[in-house]
């Protein structure tokens, strides 16, 4: 049984139990939708971040983790076309983590992002954990009643869009696996070009934003171009400190622009698969329109990464993948908060079939994004 079979089974189990007419959307979407009195619906989501699976404590300051813990849940609220309002966060941590400055740094990052969107932290829980740190992030928001944008309402002929760029977070993860590390002021260690574990350390005091800082590679010092350092840092931050498309979510929901929506957390191929399955439709993507993260394109030649594969299957970009009825396409804003949306394909009536066209060639796009309890890409 995989993660998604388990969730489907849970969903079936809830169908034979007590029902409430106030639960408008239960298990299966990015967030749950609950009707309120008046003309609003509540939208609420929870996300678990587990040390060793979703993050490593030694790769970056805890402030970035605090930011990410909130961002992943803000992204699910945005994927419902909702406005985030409040949050809860629960943390389990081993005694030695409690004793250092982890919690202070975590909340510095968490509050900075919460303040940006006026989200109010209104509760949570703290517990001692035995080995690993675990974080549960909950965010609540609201929409006008009946306006939540679901995964299940795309129709054949709808046009498919995605915000921002794809593949950056997955490239960042590869760079971290190759040894890249972030400190409070920037990169402290660079990815090794080949073997794991032979990362290069940025020399103490060297300024990334200066010109060609010197880094140590093994025993010999090596020059690295500032532009490459900036690219590496940007990609590592795409993984460790993602932006949630909060503004886009609100616009797409309030202006009734999106007919269906999901956020790209597992990877485009997998998340488009979830949307299509739940809407009982298929999709045809245009390969040349997939917005590959600009930094990924810059780095790929030098680091043997496949940019299109990263953009199609890489997870954690937290962009919004949405569909638009053909008549509404001209109403879409060009940018929201400086971020564009790209028109990448069309919904088809071939249920569950996702295809991608490259020139005259068309092939099936298998979901190869992230899945818990299975091998990832």
Please give the residue ranges that form the binding site for ligand ADP (CB under 6 A): 7, 10, 27-30, 47, 76, 265
Stretch that binds Mg ion, among 74-82, 194-202, 210-218, 335-343 (CB under 5 A): 74-82
Cα 76 versus chain centre, distance:
9
Q: How far is the CB of 315 from ligand ADP (least distance, A)?
A: 9
Task: Report the residue number, 194 or 374, with the smaller CB distance to ligand ADP.
Answer: 374
Alpha-carbon separation of residue 349 from 206, 270, 277, 281, 352 (angstroms)? 56, 18, 11, 5, 9
- Nearest-10 Cα torsion for 270, 272, 274, 275: 170
CB of 265 to Mg ion, least distance (A): 5
**Smallest distance, ligand ADP to C-beta of residue 319, A:** 13
Comparing CA positions, the residue from 147, 77, 90 lying closest to residue 119 is 77
Choose the one of Mg ion, ligand ADP, none that binds residue 319, judging by a C-beta under 5 to 8 angstroms depending on kind. none
Select the span of 72-80, 182-190, 218-226, 313-321 touching Mg ion (CB under 5 A): 72-80
Instruction: Choose among 236, 239, 232: nearest CA to 316.
Output: 239
28 binds, among Mg ion, ligand ADP, none (CB under 5 to 8 A by kind): ligand ADP
**Nearer Cβ to ligand ADP, position 10 or 222?**
10
By a kind-dependent CB cut-off of 5 to 8 A, residue 29 interacts, out of ligand ADP, Mg ion, none, with ligand ADP
Q: How far is the CB of 31 from ligand ADP (least distance, A)?
A: 7
Pick between residue 68 and residue 298 the one whose CB is nearest to Mg ion.
Answer: 68
Structure tokens at 212: 């060609």
Placement of tokens 């890409």 in the chain:
377
User: Of the two residues 265 and 279, which places its CB atom closer to ligand ADP in the complex?
Assistant: 265
Q: Which is nearer to ligand ADP, 27 or 208 (CB)?
A: 27
> What's the gap between Cα 226 and its chain centre?
27
Q: How far is the CB of 11 from ligand ADP (least distance, A)?
A: 7
By CB under 5 A, the count of residues binding Mg ion is: 4
What value, to the nearest 5°, has the Cα angle with vertex 251 and ends 247 and 252? 115
Residue 47, binding choice from ligand ADP, Mg ion, none, Cβ under 5 to 8 Å by partner class: ligand ADP
Length of the chain, in residues: 377
Map the footprint of Mg ion across residues 19-58, applying CB under 5 A: 30
Q: Which is nearer to ligand ADP, 201 or 278 (CB)?
A: 278
Nearer to ligand ADP by C-beta: 265 or 287?
A: 265
Site for Mg ion in 225-264 (CB under 5 A): 263
Position of minimal CB gap to Mg ion: 30
Q: How far is the CB of 205 from ligand ADP (least distance, A)?
A: 41
* Minimum CB–partner distance for residue 33 and ligand ADP (Å): 10
Which of 29, 76, 142, 243 contacts Mg ion by CB under 5 A?
76
Q: Nearest approach, Cβ of 287 to ligand ADP (angstroms)? A: 25
Q: Which residues bind Mg ion (CB under 5 A)?
A: 30, 76, 263, 265
């Amino acid at each position: 049984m995989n993660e998604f079979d388990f969730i489907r089974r849970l969903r079936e189990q809830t169908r034979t139990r007590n029902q409430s007419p106030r639960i408008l959307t239960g298990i299966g979407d990015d967030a749950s939708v609950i009707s309120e009195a008046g003309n609003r619906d509540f939208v609420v989501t929870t996300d678990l971040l587990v040390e060793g699976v979703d993050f490593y404590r030694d790769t970056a300051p805890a402030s970035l983790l605090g930011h990410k813990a909130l961002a992943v849940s803000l992204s699910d609220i945005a994927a419902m076309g909702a406005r985030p309002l409040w949050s809860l966060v629960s943390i389990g941590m081993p005694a030695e983590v409690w004793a250092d400055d982890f919690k202070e740094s975590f909340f510095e990052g968490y509050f900075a992002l919460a303040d940006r969107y006026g989200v109010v932290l209104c509760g949570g829980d703290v517990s001692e954990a035995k080995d690993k740190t675990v974080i549960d992030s909950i965010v609540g928001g609201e929409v006008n009643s009946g306006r939540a944008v679901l995964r299940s309402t795309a129709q054949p002929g709808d046009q498919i869009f995605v915000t921002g760029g794809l593949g950056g977070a997955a490239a960042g993860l590869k760079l971290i696996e190759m040894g890249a590390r972030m400190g409070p002021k920037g990169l402290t260690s660079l990815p090794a070009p080949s073997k794991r574990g032979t990362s290069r350390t940025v020399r103490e005091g060297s300024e990334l934003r200066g010109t060609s800082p010197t880094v140590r590679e093994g025993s010999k010092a090596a020059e690295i171009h500032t532009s490459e350092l900036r690219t590496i840092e940007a990609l590592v931050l795409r993984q460790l400190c993602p932006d949630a498309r909060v503004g886009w979510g609100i616009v797409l929901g309030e202006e009734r622009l999106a007919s269906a929506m999901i956020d790209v957390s597992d990877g485009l191929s997998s998340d488009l698969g979830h949307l299509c399955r739940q809407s009982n439709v298929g999709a045809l993507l245009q390969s040349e329109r997939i917005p590959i993260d600009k930094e990924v394109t810059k780095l790929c030649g030098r680091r043997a990464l496949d940019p299109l594969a990263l953009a199609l299957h890489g997870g954690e970009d937290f962009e919004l993948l949405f569909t638009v009825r053909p008549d509404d396409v001209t109403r879409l804003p060009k940018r929201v908060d400086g971020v564009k949306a790209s028109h990448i394909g069309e919904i088809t009536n071939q249920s569950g079939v996702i295809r991608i066209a490259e020139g005259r060639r068309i092939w099936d796009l298998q979901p190869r994004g992230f899945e818990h309890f299975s091998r990832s890409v």
